[in-house]
Amino acid sequence: MAKITMREAISQALWEEMERDERVFIMGEEVGVWGGTYAVTKGFYDHFGEKRVRDTPIAESVIIGCAIGAALTGLRPVAELMTINFAFAAMDHIVNEAAKLRYMFGGQFTIPLVIRTPGGGGRQLGATHSQTPDAIFAHFPGLKVVAPGTPEDAKGMLKAAIRSDDPILFIEHATLYQVRGEVPAGDYTVPLGKSKIHRPGSDVTVVTYSKMLEVSIKAADQLSKEGIEVEIVDLRSLRPLDMEPVLESFKKTNRAVIVEEGWRSYGVGSEVAARLYEEAFDYVDAPIKRVAQKEVPLPYNRALEQMALPQVEDVVEAVKEVL
Amino acid sequence: MKKKELLEMYHQMVLIRRLEEKAAELYQQGKIGGFLHLYIGQEAVSTGLISARKPQDRVITAYRDHGVAINAGIPAREVMAELLGKATGTSKGKGGSMHMADVEKNYWGGHAVVGAHLPIATGLALGDQYQGKDGITICMFGDGATNIGFFHESLNLSKVWNLPLLWVCENNQYGMGTAVERASAVNEMRQKAEGYCIPNSRVNGMNVIEVREAAEKYLEFVRSENGPFFLEVITYRYRGHSMGDPERYRLKDEVEKWQTEDPIGIYRRYLLEEKKATSEELDDLETKVLAEVQDAVEFAESSPEPAPEELFVGIYAEE
């Protein structure tokens, strides 16, 4: 297995799918001549040409709306939003159109659409450019929301998303692009809507995804030195949410910490904790803990920003509290 | 135009009128729920427009969509069944008045958020351009939609990418209850197309022949010039915005003035004066329409409600 970065993994998935299927094309701000603001589509414009690598105006509603329309005609657009923060400018088309048209017209419409977008904080970009609003989008039936945490999952899940006939929001954490990981050789897909036990352990279940997988692994390494074995479940998809591996792990450890980068209120942790209480109440040995972002707009100052974001120590502390 | 086609246009206009009058009645009886935006007064617009399209041309419109559905070839039965929320409706009873579509007939809805279907229309047009097909997307919207951001993003992109799009603004003088001049900085909606270098024109939407001729001309323009065109159609809705509109924003005289220029009346006079049809033929058609509406109502009323298990069907393609 080759070790590549998350950026390379995503880029490879796009490239291979475009080579495989003429109907797949990319559209978004600076995806073409510039090569992608995070360099994911570097070299694509020269290889595939302007028909399939389409630079758009800075106009998020029409980027997503146009991609929906193109998908309705049988194409398989991959629309890129420069950051998930700009998804708010396209909110109607993501949650009111992409998520609803199929159902609302009695199943006539098929929308094979992928919206790729980087998200997350930690880069001193200030409050409007640093958000992790994943849970907002996961709220809407009709949309699928996925957020891989490793290069292997990123490549396999993006390929699966492009081949899927449903609208999918594909969230890439911007600070993970440089992270390296092993990726299988050749063509492979990773199914969407499947959680996975990322690291086995016996004492506490840590449920997490995306960037917080990295943070949770570091916490687990630290705890392991103290004799505490954490089992990490990587959700990978937020909608549909696959609770099976979470429940399986929790029924074994009877203790859980949920780690997410977004705000605590109404978040992924709230949802997972509620489901554990609903579906496995008899197995609860300690109150379930949530580790999440402090409830503030993310500040620019580096120290303040890091104070607001969940840290390895926060996870370590929460795990010790549920033990 | 052949006589058969001229009569079919008359048939469609009368059918829309009578079907919607019946729908208003059923609404008052509580058989139709939600909103009901009637097209009465505007029949010449979509009739003239859609009768000029080729089968490969797509149609997409806003929420005042029953008439457009009829013109697109959806049977009156299915329109009425959707209004009654039945399983046999265009959208299996899940869409209602504002969400009728039939992909087989190249009719892409029926969209309820003002202006939100314009970006989608750019994508339908891109789909044809990308695949080298010669279809045109006809996108209809009201004057109210020209003030929202979606409109401007879409017009701009349509010109930047030279998409095969016929933008059709149905200027019926009011966005809900707000008169055009109270909401728009320019009086003619087509002036907004100027800002994006999109060629444009204006036509009288109360005369179906004028609309038809304009549609033929500008569809051909879009097909041969490989780029968008903007057509403003001046029309008027006789009824309120939706049911239960108190209509405090306009005078009875104004409504009556427009009604003397009724699109069906104008067209009937044209057909008779030009000796395209006899009054007996037109009367026969009108009688036929009454039976058709009656049949649609009977069909809709006797159709089954959606099965309870339908609640969870059709959210995803891969469920």
Domain that holds residue B137: 3-301
Q: What is the DSSP letter of B102?
A: B
Residue among A245, A93, A160 at smallest CA distance from B116: A93
CATH code for position B207: 3.40.50.970
The active-site residue, picked from A8, A17, A80, A129, is A129
Nearest to A59 among B101, B111, B157 (CB): B157
Q: What is the ipTM of this complex?
A: 0.96
Partner A, chain B 65-104, Cβ-Cβ below 8 Å: 89-95, 99, 101-103
Asked if the structure places residue B225 within a domain, the reply is yes
What confidence tens digit (pLDDT) does each residue in B189-232 have?
999 999 999 999 999 999 999 999 999 999 999 999 989 999 99
How many angstroms separate the CA atoms of B141 and B146, rounded? Answer: 8
Nearest CB partner across the interface for B121, out of A69, A96, A106? A69
Q: What digits encode the pLDDT tens for the residues A148-202?
A: 999 999 999 999 999 999 999 999 999 999 999 999 999 999 999 999 999 999 9
Query: CB distance from B128 to chain A under 8 Å?
Result: yes
Tens-place pLDDT, residues B173-186? 888 888 888 999 99
Whole-angstrom Cα Rg for chain B? 19
Which one of B110, B119, B156 has the shortest CB-CB distance to A65? B119
**pTM, whole model, 2 decimals?**
0.96
Report yes or no: A86 at the B interface, CB cutoff 8 Å: no
Are B96 and B129 within 8 A, CB to CB? no
Amino acid at residue number A91: M
Question: Please, which pLDDT band fits residue B246 given cuts at 50, 70 and 90?
Answer: confident
Structure tokens at A100: 């609803």
Q: How many beta carbons lie within 10 A of that of residue B114, not counting itself? A: 20
| Residue pair B303/B87 in contact by the 8 Å Cβ criterion | yes
Answer yes or no: is B118 within a domain: yes
Q: Which strands, in side-by-side order, build the sheet including A144-146?
A: A53-55, A24-28, A76-80, A114-119, A168-173, A144-146, A237-239
B280 in any annotated domain = yes
Given CATH 3.40.50.970, say whether it is the number of domain A2-183.
Answer: yes
At residue B248 the predicted structure's pLDDT band, cuts being 50, 70 and 90, is confident
Distance CA A273, CA A319 (A): 15
Secondary structure letter of residue A96 according to DSSP: I
Boundaries of every domain in chain A = 2-183, 196-322
Counting the structural domains of chain B, the total is: 1
Give me the CATH topology for the region A196-322: Rossmann fold (3.40.50)
Token representation of residue A319: 């795990």
Chosen for mutation from A105, A114, A237 (greatest number of chain B CBs closer than 10 Å) is A105
Instruction: Assess whether A60 carries a catalytic annotation.
Output: yes
- Residue A230 corresponds to which amino acid? V
Radius of gyration of chain A (CA): 19
B110 touches chain A (CB under 8 A): yes
Q: Is residue B317 situated within a structural domain?
A: no
